[in-house]
Amino acid sequence: MSNIEITKKILTARFDVINHDSIDEYISHNGYTALKKAMATTGEKIISEVKTAGLKGRGGAGFPTGLKMESVLQAEGLPKYIICNADEGEPGNFKDRYLMEKDPHQLIEGIIICAYAANINHGYIFIRGEYINAINIMDKALEQARVNGYLGDNILDSGFNFDMEIYTGAGSYICGEEFALLVTIEGKQGRATYKPPFPTTCGLYNKPTQINNVETFCNIPHIINMGGEEFSKIGTDSSKGTKLVCLSGNIVNPGLYEVELGTSIRDIIDKLGKGVPNNRAIKMVQLGGASGPVIPENMLDIKLDSKEMSKIDLTYGSGAIIVMDDRIDILDILKRIIEFFHHESCGKCTPCREGLTQMLILLDRFIDGVATSDDLAILEILMETMNQASICGLGQAAPTATQKVLEYFREEFTSKIRSTDSNVV
């Protein structure tokens, strides 16, 4: 494994180099060469390359992409569908918007390759409704791809037929959850459903469906062009390739950065973000977005590596890094996070619907300085119940930041327990 490079442009290599509205410029910069290469081989070989590359989903869950493709290929039932999840409703994330706006054909090429590999003839790009510019750019790029023979019937004289369309969301965070996304496309109310079965066997219209994040699909053409083995040399043993990082908060140079997996959070903040304004101290950093964990300053040397982070129950999620300096009120931050999830919950399951309501009540007791040690015990039991019993990731992950604050900043809660309580923990 080579030494880790902080910045390594693969997905962003064409950003501001080509005109995003020009398919000709994309083609002149190695565009659609991976599709031609893929169509000269079989779906099984394409999937084998992706598995060799070690690519994991970039939407947050980190499921091996090659296994998902293989499951859809082997699943019984026709037609099969492919969906790009471009809802990107997680606060703190904006990478997918940049990928669509700066290099739309990279995404389209990746989706077509995956569709060819799993024998899929129709697809959707589900884009959050607020991304007006991205929607318009992607719509124009799809039409250019059709005119140039990359979408439609008999693509590149291969006998393979495939087309896709854009579906726009209506601003609901829950529709970023894959099952809520599926039923939304079907014209139903966007609410999570129980699983299994999973989309790879019973997805859109109860047919096998491959769902991936924008960033995941954008990696596919590079894997095909580089070869899975060469791609696997980038990153670490457990986390291959690069990761788009959305750096925001109290930071001198916020923005989108592409880093090699294995880069430390401290290097991203100090070397790319240029540190905190006025050299203020970092209080805590949130990883992945509003549903992600928080860590104190003394843990910033941890690397973006799934195996290393899992040892201490952390994840880099979809890639957001939100820096908060020593001026913040941690309990106020937590309340804002829970208010967001309370607003966005679909209300279908009791642990999420009632749990978020009760979390807000308990947080207010701590903020007001009237909480007891019993309130703290109830809060911890409540969050564990939400983790284990909520139907989907919203309810399961909503308490994550609060749980991590209790792990690393417990005094923020215990200091608010009223002094007459003799059972302070």
- Report the distance separating Cα 307 and Cα 294, nearest Å: 18
- pLDDT of amino acid 195: 84
User: In terms of C-beta density within 10 A (0-12 exposed, 13-18 middle, 19 or more buried), how is residue 235 classed?
Assistant: buried
- Domain with 185 in it: 23-231
CATH of the domain at 369: 1.20.1440.230
Name the residue type at position 100.
M
CATH of the domain at 197: 3.40.50.11540
Low-confidence spans in the chain with pLDDT less than 50: 1-2
User: Does 107 map to a domain?
Assistant: yes
Name which of 264, 266, 247 is nearest 256 in CA terms: 247
User: Does 5 map to a domain?
Assistant: no
Name which of 64, 71, 101 is nearest 86 in CA terms: 101
- pLDDT of amino acid 196: 87
User: In terms of C-beta density within 10 A (0-12 exposed, 13-18 middle, 19 or more buried), how is residue 194 classed?
Assistant: exposed
Q: How far is CA 164 from CA 80, 81, 285, 343, in A?
A: 12, 10, 38, 32
Tell whether 311 and 367 lie within a shared domain.
Answer: no
Tell whether 73 and 131 lie within a shared domain.
Answer: yes
- pLDDT of amino acid 422: 52
Boundary (domain end) residue, out of 303, 325, 347: 325
- pLDDT of amino acid 411: 97
For the whole prediction, is pTM greater than 0.75?
A: yes
Boundary (domain end) residue, out of 325, 343, 365: 325
How many residues does the structure list for the chain? 425
Tell whether 64 and 179 lie within a shared domain.
Answer: yes
Tell whether 307 and 354 lie within a shared domain.
Answer: no
Tell whether 197 and 122 lie within a shared domain.
Answer: yes
Tell whether 306 and 175 lie within a shared domain.
Answer: no
Q: Considering Cα of 124, then 125, then 127, then 129, what sign does the dihedral take?
A: negative
Name the residue type at position 29.
H
CATH of the domain at 298: 3.10.20.600
Boundary (domain end) residue, out of 231, 258, 285: 231
What residues contact 406, with CB distance under 8 A and at least 6 apart? 380, 413
Tokens of 31: 């565009």
User: Does 398 map to a domain?
Assistant: yes
Tell whether 213 and 277 lie within a shared domain.
Answer: no
Q: How far is CA 250 from CA 270, 290, 301, in A?
A: 12, 16, 18
